[in-house]
């Protein structure tokens, strides 16, 4: 029996143009019929996820900001904040990296330095609720993540990750894509968020499935029995997952969900 299905968004559920694949509504209806909760689990902002799934905003559980903010029926279930000293140290290190753009992610808004206007197009893909500010260190909010972007070279593993991975274990540093690296509280990741949901909803790992493509999905693979890496996934994620789904270009998540639900009847 499956009761909970988590899916990453970019490179996983969404196609290469960031669109929800054709046939999603049919699958969502099937899941509802079988009393299976669907959970978009993404590095994206909660407001962006809620807009993408507007018709389902009171049905889905949203695991946003790589597990640091979880919401259901438009209310926060739980979150994992960052401390101000941690934020300042990461921003100081990021300022030393050429052509790297930080986004300070709060519960109310995402904040971007006003000097980064050419970067806004990339920001708006993931953060629809953002503000341009003069000084990131002067902003007041409850902060849950720092996202760092390399939208020029697009090699975040080398241009960002290797320069800030030394913040671990004090902080969690997650490679989210070829453009993005996320920095969070060391307790925060999608896998921990899934385990918290399992505990709250009294659902076992054997009753859960998850789909992912990049290393920010790694812990989520270990939190469920039915762990699926996309065909286009990072090699290390493929090694961690029990099952394989076709690529996001082929609608692999929807195909695998249909097969999985059919096999459990």
pLDDT above 90 (res 170): yes
CATH of domain 84-184: 3.30.1240.10
Mean pLDDT for 189-206 is 97
pLDDT above 90 (res 14): yes
Name beta bridge partners: 4: 37, 208
Are 210 and 192 in contact by the 8 Å Cβ rule? The answer is: no
Helix, strand, or coil (residue 219): helix
Mean pLDDT for 79-100 is 94
The CA distance from 52 to 1, in Å, is: 28
The CA distance from 141 to 27, in Å, is: 37
Mean pLDDT for 73-99 is 95
Token pair of 215, please?
């290393």
Token pair of 236, please?
């290390």
Mean pLDDT for 144-169 is 95
Question: Quick one: the chain helix, strand, coil %, rounded to 5?
Answer: 40, 25, 35
User: Which sequence spans correspond to the domains of the chain?
Assistant: 4-79+188-263, 84-184
pLDDT at 265: 66
Percent of the chain with pLDDT over 70: 99
Which residues have CB under 8 Å from 253's CB, separation 6+? 7, 12, 13, 21, 211, 228, 230, 245
Q: Per the CATH hierarchy, to which homologous superfamily does domain 4-79+188-263 belong?
A: HAD superfamily/HAD-like (3.40.50.1000)
Q: Considering only residues 108 and 115, tell me which one the structure prediction assigns the higher pLDDT.
A: 108
Q: Which strands make up the sheet holding 180-184, listed edge to edge?
A: 130-133, 110-113, 101-106, 143-149, 180-184, 172-175
pLDDT at 197: 97
Intrachain domains 4-79+188-263 and 84-184 with the same fold = no
Cα angle: 11, vertex 191, 262; to 5 degrees: 65
Q: Tell whether the torsion through CA atoms of 191, 68, 184 and 210 is positive or negative.
A: positive
């Amino acid at each position: 029996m499956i009761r909970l299905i988590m899916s990453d968004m970019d490179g996983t559920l969404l196609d290469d143009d960031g669109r929800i694949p054709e046939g999603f509504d049919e699958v969502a209806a099937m899941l509802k019929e079988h009393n299976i909760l669907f959970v978009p689990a993404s590095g994206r902002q909660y407001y962006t996820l809620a807009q993408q799934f507007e018709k389902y905003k009171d049905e889905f559980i949203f695991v946003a900001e790589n597990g640091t903010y979880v919401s259901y029926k438009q209310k926060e279930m739980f979150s994992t904040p960052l401390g101000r000293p941690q934020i300042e140290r990461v921003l100081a290190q990021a300022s030393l990296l050429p052509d790297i753009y930080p986004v300070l992610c709060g519960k109310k808004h995402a904040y971007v330095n006003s000097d980064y206007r050419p970067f806004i197009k990339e920001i708006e893909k993931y953060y629809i609720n953002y503000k341009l500010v003069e000084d990131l260190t002067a902003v007041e909010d409850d902060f849950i993540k720092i996202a760092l972007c390399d939208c020029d070279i697009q090699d975040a593993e080398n241009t960002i990750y290797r320069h800030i991975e030394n913040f671990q274990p004090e902080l969690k540093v997650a490679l989210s894509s070829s453009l993005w690296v996320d920095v969070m509280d060391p307790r925060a990741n999608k896998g921990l968020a899934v385990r918290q949901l399992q505990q709250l909803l009294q659902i076992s790992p054997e009753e859960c499935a998850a789909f992912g493509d990049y290393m920010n999905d790694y812990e989520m693979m270990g939190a469920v029995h039915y762990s699926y890496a996309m065909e286009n996934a990072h090699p290390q994620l493929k090694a961690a997952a029990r099952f394989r789904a076709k690529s996001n270009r082929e609608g692999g998540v929807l195909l695998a969900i249909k097969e999985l639900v059919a096999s459990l009847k």
